[in-house]
Chain A
Amino acid sequence: MRRILILGGGTGGTLVANRLRRALPGDEAEITVVDQDDRHVYQPGLLFVPFGLADPDEITRPRHRQLHPGITFRCAGIQRVDVGAETVLLDDGTAIGYDVLVIATGARLVPEETEGLNAGGWPDGVHTFYTPAGAASLRDALARFDGGRIAVNVIDMPIKCPVAPLEFCFLADWYFQEREIRDRVELTYVTPLDGAFTRPVASAKLAGLLADKGVELITEFNTGSIDTTGSPGRLVSWDEREVPFDLAVVIPLHGGAQYVTRSQGLGDELGFITVDQHTLQSAAAPNVFAIGDATGVPASKAGSVTHFEGEVLVENILRFLAGKLLDASFDGHANCFIETGFGKALLIDFNYDTEPVTGHYPAPVGLPLLKQSRLNHLGKLMFQSFYWHGLLPGRDIPGIGSAMPMRGKSGLADGRASTTTAAGSKRAS
């Protein structure tokens, strides 16, 4: 009997547990999932809460209910991982041994690393929508807001779902137009990046959308502190620039789970797990793997990335258990619907080597890429149902494999396509 231990019962941990349970007979492997709580939040839904379009309760379900029969769920905090002894020590003092460890504990918000957010709790006028409670409190603050300056600020990368703060701006423009007070609200997007987004083609497109919607863009702003002692409040950068605000929507710094920093050799300076970016195997030990936001791979921290990683990871765990060579096929594939307000959305699709471009996904007849459309908005809405009933149970989407498709994309020569597959993609999708 092999013992597979999965830390984290979110998107990655759940889908890997369910896929492994289906692939391995009950008498060959026991599968245990550990999480510190039993609340599984559909995180893409948090964006809609501040605008009254979703409620925290309706996007939250019990973690254990998403796990298939034959998987043990254990609710406990994690103290540390000892890769040498192949043991995980829990906060309650028990130690669990493993033959294969999967780390899927995601990213953690660390607002306390920013001056002004470190005095216990969020000051008046400063909000975030990255937690269910924060999103609900922001909803109330927006409902009371009748004019003034709103600054939306990403403190530093990496963050979960790097397009969400932009989507927030687009939806805020729609929300205040609906309330017929848009002319009294100044919206500013303040980012440490040198453009609206990380990738050049998408960045230009998104900067254009911000301009169309009357959202001011301030780039290369590295927030050092948030000062709420006076009115208005101020975002202050390390190089001493200032952005005044009446209401700030802040995406705080992110780090890995705290036990990672207590576990020798497991993570990087920020607590993200160091893994091979194509196999997802840990640098610390061959029987340790990581998935999703918990990893330090240079891909977006997003559910779609986790989903695509899941297929490769499960295959690799099965290969590892069978003593075979790993499949180095994860290509960094990410796929995001970007809600742009007024019932429209655009879609971007990219990987480690290929920029988001125009065209259609997943093939020449499909959803339009990098272009606002109602179809993409419906795709985003439908995704929530697929998340609970398709993605977490570990079902494949017909016609969509983990490797990024090149069909349907504009302006990509065959040579460009082959650099992607050179990463080792053997999987035909």
Chain B
Amino acid sequence: MPTATYAGHEVLVSDDGFFTDPGQWTEDMAPQIAKGEGIDHLTEQHWQVIKFMRHEYEDKGTGPTVRVLGKTSGVSIKELYQLFPKGPAKVAAKVAGIPKPRGCI
């Protein structure tokens, strides 16, 4: 399995760069992961979403979809796209150190 090094620690990631063990993630890794996704600075609102993603993952075993994020995170879908232009559900999951959201079937 591939690995990546964030904040000086080697972590396990999937082929597309998502953490496979969310327990390896620490907050100080987030800015570096975000940079790789084209986000230079994590604002308070970014952190609100990141913390929500981790909470949802702990609760339900998968990250939420964009639609669920818009309904429950307190941040509108429009704002979510401004925060994570490449796609809120996937990018926020990556920055928050949780596996790729399963999505719906």
A239-B85, A239-B87 given; A222·B105 CB < 8 A: no
The stretch of B1-9, B29-37, B42-50, B62-70 in contact with A is B62-70
Count residues on chain A whose CB falls below 8 Å from chain B CBs.
19
Evaluate contact between B105 and A198: CB separation under 8 angstroms: yes
A269-B72, A270-B68 given; A224·B77 CB < 8 A: yes
A157 at the interface (CB under 8 A from B): yes
Distance to closest chain A CB from B65 (angstroms):
7
Evaluate contact between A158 and B66: CB separation under 8 angstroms: no
Evaluate contact between B68 and A269: CB separation under 8 angstroms: yes
Provide the residues of chain B in CB contact with A162, threshold 8 Å: 105
Q: Please give me the residue from chain B that is nearest to A238 by CB atom.
A: B81
Evaluate contact between A156 and B67: CB separation under 8 angstroms: yes
Q: Please give me the residue from chain A that is nearest to B68 by CB atom.
A: A269
Evaluate contact between B67 and A238: CB separation under 8 angstroms: no
**Cα–Cα distance between A220 and B105 once the two chains are bound (Å):** 15
Q: Please give me the residue from chain B that is nearest to A158 by CB atom.
A: B104
Provide the residues of chain A in CB contact with B81, threshold 8 Å: 238-239
**Cα–Cα distance between A253 and B102 once the two chains are bound (Å):** 18
Q: Please give me the residue from chain B that is nearest to A272 by CB atom.
A: B104
A299 at the interface (CB under 8 A from B): yes
Provide the residues of chain B in CB contact with A300, threshold 8 Å: 105
Evaluate contact between B87 and A157: CB separation under 8 angstroms: no
Evaluate contact between A224 and B78: CB separation under 8 angstroms: yes
Contact residue among B66, B87, B104 (Cβ-Cβ distance under 8 Å from A298)? B104
Contact residue among A158, A239, A268 (Cβ-Cβ distance under 8 Å from B105)? A158
Q: Please give me the residue from chain A that is nearest to B64 by CB atom.
A: A269
Evaluate contact between B105 and A157: CB separation under 8 angstroms: yes
Distance to closest chain B CB from A141 (angstroms):
28
Interface centre among B77, B81, B102 (most CB of A within 10 A): B81
Distance to closest chain A CB from B9 (angstroms):
29
Q: Please give me the residue from chain B that is nearest to A220 by CB atom.
A: B87
Distance to closest chain A CB from B104 (angstroms):
4
Provide the residues of chain A in CB contact with B71, threshold 8 Å: 269-270
One digit per residue, 1 when the CB lies within 8 angstroms of any chain B CB and 0 when it does not, for chain A 156-172 equals 11100010000000000
B103 at the interface (CB under 8 A from A): yes
One digit per residue, 1 when the CB lies within 8 angstroms of any chain B CB and 0 when it does not, for chain A 181-208 equals 0000000000001000011000000000
Provide the residues of chain B in CB contact with A269, threshold 8 Å: 64, 68, 71-72
Distance to closest chain B CB from A350 (angstroms):
9
Distance to closest chain B CB from A267 (angstroms):
12
**Cα–Cα distance between A253 and B81 once the two chains are bound (Å):** 19
Provide the residues of chain A in CB contact with B105, threshold 8 Å: 157-158, 162, 198-199, 298-300
Provide the residues of chain B in CB contact with A158, threshold 8 Å: 104-105
- Cβ < 8 Å to A, chain B residues 54-68: 64-68
Q: Please give me the residue from chain B that is nearest to A162 by CB atom.
A: B105
Evaluate contact between B77 and A238: CB separation under 8 angstroms: yes
Provide the residues of chain A in CB contact with B67, threshold 8 Å: 156, 253, 270
Distance to closest chain B CB from A395 (angstroms):
27
Distance to closest chain B CB from A156 (angstroms):
5
- Cβ < 8 Å to B, chain A residues 345-384: none
A198-B103, A239-B87 given; A222·B66 CB < 8 A: yes
Distance to closest chain B CB from A1 (angstroms):
38
Distance to closest chain A CB from B12 (angstroms):
21
**Cα–Cα distance between A193 and B65 once the two chains are bound (Å):** 12
- Cβ < 8 Å to B, chain A residues 36-57: none
Q: Please give me the residue from chain B that is nearest to A268 by CB atom.
A: B68
Distance to closest chain A CB from B49 (angstroms):
15
Provide the residues of chain A in CB contact with B86, threshold 8 Å: 239
Q: Please give me the residue from chain A that is nearest to B103 by CB atom.
A: A157
**Cα–Cα distance between A156 and B69 once the two chains are bound (Å):** 13
- Cβ < 8 Å to B, chain A residues 270-306: 270, 298-300
Provide the residues of chain B in CB contact with A224, threshold 8 Å: 77-78
- Cβ < 8 Å to A, chain B residues 66-105: 66-68, 71-72, 77-78, 81, 85-87, 102-105
A-B contact pairs, 8 of them (CB 8 A): A220-B87, A222-B66, A238-B78, A238-B81, A239-B81, A239-B87, A270-B68, A300-B105
**Which A residues lie at the B interface, using CB under 8 A?**
156-158, 162, 193, 198-199, 220, 222, 224, 238-239, 253, 268-270, 298-300
Ranked nearest first, the 9 interchain pairs of A and B with the lowest CB-CB distance are A157-B104, A158-B104, A238-B81, A198-B105, A269-B68, A269-B71, A269-B72, A156-B67, A300-B105
